[in-house]
Amino acid sequence: MRSIWKGSIAFGLVNVPVKVYSATEDHDIKFRQVHAKDNGRIRYRRVCEECGEVVDYADIARAYESDDGRMVVITDDDLANLPEERDHEIAVLEFVPAGDLDPMLFDRSYFLEPATKSIKSYVLLAKTLADTDRVAIVHFTLRNKTRLAALRVKDFSKRDVMMVHTLLWPDEIRDPDFPALDTKVEIKPAELKMAGQVVESMADDFDPDRYHDTYQEQLHELIAAKLEGDEAFTPEERPAELDATEDVSDLLAKLEASVKKRSAANKEPAKKAPAKKAAAKKTPAKKAPTKKAAAK
Taking the whole predicted model, whether its pTM rises above 0.75 is answered as no
Q: Per-residue confidence of the chain (296 residues) as pLDDT tens digits? A: 899 999 999 988 889 999 999 999 888 889 999 999 998 999 888 999 999 999 998 999 999 999 998 999 998 888 877 766 556 899 999 999 989 999 999 999 999 999 988 899 999 999 999 999 999 999 998 877 888 999 999 998 888 999 999 999 999 999 999 999 999 999 999 889 988 988 888 889 988 889 888 888 888 888 888 888 887 677 776 666 656 555 556 777 887 788 788 777 777 665 554 444 444 444 444 444 444 444 43
Assigned CATH for 5-23+86-172: 2.40.290.10
DSSP secondary structure, 41-101, as one string: BP----B-TTT--B--GGG--EEEE-TTS-EEEE-HHHHHTSHHHH--EEEEEEEEEGGGS
Beta-carbon contacts of 223 under 8 Å, excluding residues fewer than 6 positions away, are: 29, 288
